[in-house]
């Protein structure tokens, strides 16, 4: 699935990395615990989270993730956006809650081996 499709499905606003929207991702994960992301995530390219701090971006960068979606309308600080940009990560935010955001992506086939 293209990152631009994720943006469309989640009605999300892109905060940085707009030049990478045509890149493909094949799976996603959702957590507010970066500990768990570091311990359990394998090759998921997309991180959905309601946590709002710089460690979200560093965790994603360490895991080679390419896209972060802030859920529940959380607005990252300018520092976070700058960090994501520096790391080449697409960052977007959506008003949807985590449950619905994940549901929409899953329903559309992301992470089910169909895209």
Partner 1 sequence: MTEPLRFHYDVDGENFSSAGEASVALKQNLRKLGYSPEVIRKVSIAMYEGEINMVIHANGGVADVEITDDRITIILADKGPGIADVELAMQEGFSTARDNIRALGFGAGMGLPNMKKYTDDMKIDTEVGVGTTITMVVLL
Q: Which residues form the interface with partner 1 (CB under 8 A)? A: 32-36, 38-39, 51, 53-56, 58-59, 61-64, 79, 87
Give Dmax (Cα) for the chain.
36
Residue 14 vs 51, nearer CB to partner 1: 51
Shortest distance, position 53 Cβ to partner 1, whole Å: 6
User: Tokens for 51?
Assistant: 């946590």
Least CB distance from residue 89 to partner 1, whole Å?
12
Report the residue number, 7 or 93, with the smaller CB distance to partner 1. 93
Nearer to partner 1, 72 or 104 (CB): 72
49's enclosing H/E stretch is strand 46-49
Burial, 66: exposed, middle or buried (Cβ in 10 Å; 0-12, 13-18, 19+)? buried
* CA separation, residue 113 to residues 1, 2, 109 (Å): 10, 14, 7
- Decide whether 63 or 105 has the Cβ nearer to partner 1: 63
Q: State the minimum distance, in angstroms, from the CB of residue 34 to partner 1.
A: 4
């Amino acid at each position: 699935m293209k990152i631009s499709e994720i943006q469309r499905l989640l009605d999300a606003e892109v905060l940085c990395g707009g030049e990478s929207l045509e890149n493909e991702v094949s799976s996603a994960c959702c957590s507010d615990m970066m500990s768990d992301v570091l311990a359990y995530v394998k090759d998921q390219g997309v991180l959905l989270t309601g946590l709002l701090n710089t460690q979200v971006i560093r965790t994603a960068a360490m895991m080679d993730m390419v896209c972060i979606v802030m859920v529940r309308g959380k607005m990252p600080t300018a520092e976070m956006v700058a960090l994501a940009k520096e790391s080449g990560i697409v960052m977007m935010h959506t008003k949807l809650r985590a449950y619905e955001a994940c549901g929409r992506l899953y329903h559309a086939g992301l992470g089910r081996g169909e895209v």
